[in-house]
Amino acid sequence: MIDNISSYSVKNFIPFGYEVYFRLFERHFEKWWPVHPLMLLLGVIILVLAWMGKSRALAVALAVPIVFCAVTFHFQLYAELTPLGKYFGWAFLIEAAFILLWGFAGKPFGKFRPTIPAIIGFAIAVFGLAVYPFLALDAERKLTGVEYLGMSPDPTICFALGIFLMSKRPLWFLLLFPIPFLWAAATAGTIDALEAPMAMTLPAVSAAAFIAAIAWKWLLPRE
């Protein structure tokens, strides 16, 4: 019995293959184009709002791509393949609610200060916004299968983690991080099991964000 259990891998619990999974992004692209460039524009606006310290406007703007991804990707597409789609759809909606609470009650943004965590956060946000789409091309996927902010979970979570780090010392950062970490673990396990490249991209980004947040909260001297 134990030997039989030990012979299983993550791949045995994924009820779909490489082509089926990455076809989701192509289907999403076909259905929602040209929302993609609008999401990219929204990402630029969010970065500007973070720089200007507009907490409430930023929280609303950042919640939009997360909610859009939950509804159009997780609930409508990913849920066709696995029950995790529905669960992560609700998780992303909860994350959006946390972001709104964070932005309205916590007022986490002020005038931008180039602290080390804020600079790391800006780099992570830009990576999620402008670099993630090209990763799909490097993986020899079709142009219609690239992943964008608000349209696919990985760049959306990556971008959000960067924005979190650009804030002032976030009192609620422990509330904001668990759902992104859960998705990072889930997507890494899925992509690795499908033997696709870049499985550890989002976990690496998440780990960097967490380390920077921990250092900012407890290790770095207060300003």
Render 15-49 in DSSP notation, one character per residue: -S-HHHHHHHHHHHHHHHTTHHHHHHHHHHHHHHH
Answer whether 128's CB lies under 8 Å from 206's CB: no
Look at residues 81, 65, 93 and name the one whose alpha carbon lies nearest to residue 159: 65
DSSP-derived letter for residue 139 is: T
Give the pLDDT of residue 98: 92
- At position 188, the amino acid (one-letter code) is A
User: How far is residue 147's CA from residue 151's CA, in Å, rounded to a whole number?
Assistant: 7
Domain segments of the chain as ranges: 15-219
Give the pLDDT of residue 3: 47
Determine if the pTM surpasses 0.85.
yes
pLDDT tens for the 223 residues of the chain, in order: 444 444 434 444 455 666 777 788 888 888 899 999 999 999 999 999 988 888 889 999 999 999 999 999 999 998 988 888 999 999 999 999 999 988 888 777 777 777 788 888 899 999 999 998 888 665 567 777 788 999 999 999 999 999 998 887 655 677 888 999 999 999 888 887 877 777 788 888 888 888 887 776 654 444 4
Give the pLDDT of residue 139: 56
Residue whose entry in the numeric block shows the structure tokens 């409430």: 56
User: Three-state SS across 100-123?
Assistant: HHHHHHHCCCCCCCCCHHHHHHHH
With residues binned 3-state (H G I as helix, E B as strand, rest as coil), the percentages for the chain, rounded to 5, are 75, 0, 25
User: How far is residue 126's CA from residue 159's CA, in Å, rounded to a whole number?
Assistant: 7
Residue whose entry in the numeric block shows the structure tokens 């779909």: 16
